[in-house]
Amino acid sequence: MKMTQMKCLSMNARSMGNKQEELEATTLLESYDPIAVTETWWDASHDWSVAIDGYRLFRRDRRGKRGGGVVALYIKKPTQCEELSLKNSDERVKSLWVRIRDRGNKGNLVMGVYYKPPDEAEPTDEAFFLQLQEASRSQFLILLGDFNHPDICWKSSTASCRQSRRFLERIMDNFLSQVIDTPT
C-alpha cells in the first residue's frame, strides 16, 4: 500500500449482522486499502464470520451489552501493521489505533477509528482528545469514524454546540481536515 495514495472506506454499519456479504462484495469490486467500520455490534460469537480475504482485521467489541459503539478496521495485506497501545487508553472511548509501516521506511502512518455515541458526555470527549493528541505525534495520521456532531459546518469550520466547537478546535490543533463529503 502506498501511503501517498489510499482508497479508504468508512461506514457506520449499525449492525454488521446482515451487511458482511455486501461489504465483502464491495471490497472485491473497489479494492479499498483500509476499511473502517463503526457500530459493528460484534461480540465473540462473530469470530467465524467477519474475516475478509486479503485483509487483516483489528476490532474492538463491546462487552456485556448489545449494539452500539464498537469499531473495526480492515487493513489490506501484505501491509505491515500493528495495533497501538496508547498511554491514554480509556474504556469509555470507542476507538482503535493502528500503526501502518511504510515499506520504504519514509515514515509511519497511524490510522484511528472512532465512534462517538450521540449522547456521549464531555469527559469521554476529553479522554478521546488525549488519545488523539498522543496518536498525532506520528508523521502521518488518518482518523476515520462517526463523530456524531451534526451541527458542524465543515466548509466554514463552525458549529452551534459547545461540544462540537471543542471537537473542531481539537481537529484543527492536530492539523486534521475533513475529507469525507457524503454521509457514511
The alpha helices in the chain, defined as continuous H runs, are: 20-30, 122-135, 162-173
Structural domain that includes position 49: 9-173
CA dist 180 and 110 (Å) reads 18
Q: How many domains does the chain have?
A: 1
* In-domain check, residue 21: yes
pLDDT tens-digit series, residues 133-169: 999 888 789 999 999 999 999 889 999 999 999 999 9
Residue 99 in contact with residue 138, Cβ under 8 Å? yes
pLDDT bracket for residue 2 (50, 70, 90): very low
* In-domain check, residue 141: yes
* In-domain check, residue 152: yes
* In-domain check, residue 1: no
* In-domain check, residue 180: no
CATH number for the domain including 129?
3.60.10.10
**CB under 8 A, 24+ apart: contacts of 159-164:** 163/122, 163/125
pLDDT tens-digit series, residues 14-63: 888 889 899 999 998 998 989 999 998 887 776 667 889 999 999 988 77
* In-domain check, residue 31: yes
The residue ranking higher by pLDDT, 162 or 70, is: 162
Query: What pLDDT sits at residue 3?
Result: 47
Dihedral angle at the C-alpha atoms of 107, 108, 109, 111, nearest 10 degrees? Answer: -170
* In-domain check, residue 184: no
* In-domain check, residue 168: yes
Q: Which of 171, 162, 94, 101 is nearest to 132 (CA)?
A: 171
CA dist 143 and 178 (Å) reads 9
